Amino acid sequence: MMWRDVGVTLILSLILPVVAQGARHTPPGKPKLTSCRSPDKETFTCWWEAGSDGGRPTTYSLFYHKENSETVYECPDYHTAGANSCFFNKNETSIWVNYNITVVATNALGNNFSDPVDVDVVYIVQPHTPENVTVGVLEDEDGPFLRVSWEPPRKADTRSGWITLIYELRVKLEEAEEWEEHRAGQQKMFNNFSLHSGGVYMVQVRCKPDHGFWSEWSTASYVKVPDYIPRERSMWILIAVFSAFIFLILTWIITLNRSSVKHCLLPPVPGPKIKGFDQQLLKKGKPEEVFNSLVVQSFPPRSTDYEDLLVEYLEVYVNEKQELMPEGKDLRDVGCLESKSQSDNDSGRGSCDSHTLLMEKCGGVESKDESSYEEPELLQGQAGSWERLERGDSQVVDTPDSSDARVKTWPLVFSPSIHGSSDNHHYGTLEMPKQHSTSEITYSVPDHLFPTSTSFPHHHHPEYRDSLGEYSEYRHSRSPSTGVLYHWEAQHHPQAHSNFNIRNLERQKEATGFGLPPSRSMEYVEVQKVNQNQLVLKPLSSHGRGPSQVQFGRAVVDYSKVNGVNNDNVLLLQRQREMAEAGQYCDYREKEGAEAERYPTQQQGKTTKDGPVATQLQESTCLTTSGYVDTVPTMPTF
């Protein structure tokens, strides 16, 4: 008995907890409303989560009441939206009304109320995803692009304006990681550019009401972008074709003008052309004939040829003894002459005073009357108008026969470039000196007539030295009885100085002691005065550069042409019309003696070592053109 009771109690005590365990029921736990959403602002759904069920089957119910009334309603639909949900249909949905919703969990033991939630439908709108999302690749001039289009979710009434939706889409390459998001506003279509050719794109769209929540992303749409040749490549192809075309055209043009192109690029090397050189003869192997044919009859130029060229010149005859005018061929004479030049201040013009001008020849120099006359001949020929001055008495320097003394006025030969700068232009204008480097006599030649040919015989190269002082040496051999020896140093002048240049060269070669600057341009000596038998040439430099320059600058010709000699004492100078200032000829007479003191004293003062010996030449206001007795000193007076 007792043992039975203990056993039963023991068993019961063991079993009871187990039984009691399974049979413990509690009222359900507190449910909780998780969210309420309205997809269209016309209906809405609320979801809740259940608490512990308390061991018993629990039912949940939702109750609500609207803000204005106390009437509690129960959820009309628990199933449409799934478990633990309540769906409010259109009839039961009011907007701009607060719903106070409560969920109650009920089981056999009791119930439990959730916390109430106030819901206003207008604040909980979350539409469904957009529908009919279509993606396509379209082409336009810029290239392919992606066009995405969609439709609003079916339930949302956007047509009446009840809901206003704005859209958003995102795009990415399939293998990419990050999305590219774009806002599309209220439109239902979107274009996306700058695509990768050959790639697969994913596109998703979602929407949101003006005041509400974003919908879920639509399911991804895939689109493959076809391969296409990039525009850059096609452009390059076009450029290549075009340039090939251009190249072909250029080649064709060049081929057509082959010869001229060749001529342009590879100019033919000029071959030596010797006039009269007969190649055929050479081929035949008879050089003598070839060379003979080269002999030009017209060379050396005859005086007749130059008649047209030279206008006027002073022809100075040199007596035999005194070769004032060195033969052209005998350049050494020049040098000799130079050395023996009388002291005479030639004003560089090589004053055409025959006797005085002409340089004394060296011993080796024969009296070259003939030769000396050659020059005049030439000169004459060139100038075309020789003037001959005859002197009554022959100068010592000049021809011994005074009667024979002739002064050839040389056309202006020497360029008045006293400064020593080779003044080409000057030379050009004067042109005298170069061409006629007749000894001591400057040819006055009209500029234009002055031939540049160096064919002029350099027989006589009067040396005229610019007594401006540039030259270290000034030779003037002065002898009262003899004429004035004019040293005229020609400045080194390319080409034109034919005569003088040669003379210079010769001089340089032979008379380096002269110390004549090789690059001296030709200077003319001014005729200072005329003695009985002399023509005193005043060095130009003596009177300074200025005036001389001025003279040169203005008056092309500083020389005055000697018209004639009067009474053996007067040198009639004629003015050249080339004179810039003086356009007319005017004769002026030179008077010997004091009468002809026209030279400015300053000039005298500036005379070089040898002052003017002879009487000064007086010149009229008119100045002659080049090649004449230099009237430079007088120019300032004009």
Question: Of residues 28, 37, 39, 42, which one binds other proteins by CB under 8 A?
Answer: 42
Does position 72 bind other proteins by CB under 8 A? Answer: no
Residues linked to residue 169 through DSSP beta bridges, in sequence order: 182, 205
Residue 630, classed as helix, strand or coil, is: strand
Closest contact distance (angstroms) between CB of 126 and other proteins is 16
Contact positions with other proteins (CB under 8 A) in 96-115: 96-98
Cα of first residue to Cα of last residue in the chain, in angstroms, is: 182
Does position 391 bind other proteins by CB under 8 A? Answer: no
Peptide bond into 300 cis (omega under 30): yes
Phi and psi (nearest 5°) for 517? -65, 130
Of 66 and 329, which has the nearer Cβ to other proteins?
66
Contact 606, 411 (CB under 8 A): no
Question: Of residues 20, 141, 161, 194, which one binds other proteins by CB under 8 A?
Answer: 161
Here the tokens at position 630 are 């230099």
Closest contact distance (angstroms) between CB of 90 and other proteins is 7
Of 98 and 453, which has the nearer Cβ to other proteins?
98
CA dist 150 to 20, 204, 602, Å? Answer: 61, 10, 113
Closest contact distance (angstroms) between CB of 163 and other proteins is 9
With contacts defined by CB under 8 A, name the span among 92-100, 199-207, 266-274, 507-515 that binds other proteins.
92-100
Question: With 0-12 CB in 10 A as exposed, 13-18 as middle and 19+ as buried, what is 487?
Answer: buried
Within 10 angstroms of residue 20's Cβ, the number of other Cβ atoms is 9
Closest contact distance (angstroms) between CB of 66 and other proteins is 9
Of 96 and 299, which has the nearer Cβ to other proteins?
96
Closest contact distance (angstroms) between CB of 67 and other proteins is 5
Side-chain half-sphere exposure of 630, counting CA atoms within 13 A: 47
Question: With 0-12 CB in 10 A as exposed, 13-18 as middle and 19+ as buried, what is 30?
Answer: middle
With contacts defined by CB under 8 A, name the span among 169-177, 181-189, 358-366, 381-389 that binds other proteins.
181-189
Residues linked to residue 143 through DSSP beta bridges, in sequence order: 140
Of 209 and 446, which has the nearer Cβ to other proteins?
209
Does position 154 bind other proteins by CB under 8 A? Answer: no
Which residue spans within 67-97 are E strands per DSSP? Answer: 72-74, 85-88
Residues linked to residue 140 through DSSP beta bridges, in sequence order: 143
With contacts defined by CB under 8 A, name the span among 73-81, 117-125, 271-279, 388-396 that binds other proteins.
117-125
Question: Of residues 16, 67, 294, 494, which one binds other proteins by CB under 8 A?
Answer: 67
Of 148 and 405, which has the nearer Cβ to other proteins?
148
Closest contact distance (angstroms) between CB of 123 and other proteins is 8
Closest contact distance (angstroms) between CB of 121 and other proteins is 9
Contact positions with other proteins (CB under 8 A) in 208-227: 210-211
Total residues at interface with other proteins (CB under 8 A): 26
Of 179 and 214, which has the nearer Cβ to other proteins?
214
Do the bridges between strand 131-140 and strand 143-151 make them parallel or antiparallel, or are there none, so unpaired?
Answer: antiparallel
Contact positions with other proteins (CB under 8 A) in 121-140: 122-123
How does DSSP assign 598-617, residue by residue? TS-HHHHHT--SS---SPPP
Question: Of residues 26, 52, 94, 367, which one binds other proteins by CB under 8 A?
Answer: 94
CA distance 346 to 353: 10
Does position 598 bind other proteins by CB under 8 A? Answer: no
Question: Of residues 74, 157, 180, 370, which one binds other proteins by CB under 8 A?
Answer: 157
Does position 37 bind other proteins by CB under 8 A? Answer: no
Of 191 and 637, which has the nearer Cβ to other proteins?
191
CA dist 535 to 85, 380, 565, 627, Å? Answer: 145, 21, 12, 15
Question: Of residues 3, 5, 21, 68, which one binds other proteins by CB under 8 A?
Answer: 68
420-441 core/surface letters (b: 16 or more CB in 10 A; e: else): bebbbebbbbbbbbbbbbbbbb
With contacts defined by CB under 8 A, name the span among 159-167, 288-296, 377-385, 526-534 that binds other proteins.
159-167
Side-chain half-sphere exposure of 529, counting CA atoms within 13 A: 25
Give which of 208, 127, 212 is closest to 165, Cα–Cα.
208
With contacts defined by CB under 8 A, name the span among 120-128, 357-365, 414-422, 507-515 that binds other proteins.
120-128
Of 120 and 366, which has the nearer Cβ to other proteins?
120
Contacts of 631 (CB under 8 A, 6+ apart): 526, 527, 558, 559, 560, 573, 617, 619, 623, 624
Does position 160 bind other proteins by CB under 8 A? Answer: yes
Does position 166 bind other proteins by CB under 8 A? Answer: no
Sheet containing strand 313-315, strands side by side: 386-387, 313-315, 406-409, 389-390
Here the tokens at position 244 are 């090939």
Does position 35 bind other proteins by CB under 8 A? Answer: no
Contacts of 140 (CB under 8 A, 6+ apart): none
With contacts defined by CB under 8 A, name the span among 182-190, 435-443, 444-452, 577-585 that binds other proteins.
182-190
Does position 120 bind other proteins by CB under 8 A? Answer: yes
Of 120 and 581, which has the nearer Cβ to other proteins?
120
Question: Of residues 95, 176, 246, 594, which one binds other proteins by CB under 8 A?
Answer: 95
Question: Of residues 80, 89, 187, 495, which one binds other proteins by CB under 8 A?
Answer: 187
Contacts of 178 (CB under 8 A, 6+ apart): 172
Of 162 and 236, which has the nearer Cβ to other proteins?
162
CA distance 504 to 493: 9
With contacts defined by CB under 8 A, name the span among 29-37, 158-166, 193-201, 241-249 that binds other proteins.
158-166
Here the tokens at position 485 are 């020896």
Of 90 and 273, which has the nearer Cβ to other proteins?
90
| Contacts to other proteins by CB under 8 A | 41-42, 67-68, 90, 93-98, 120, 122-123, 157-162, 164, 186-188, 210-211
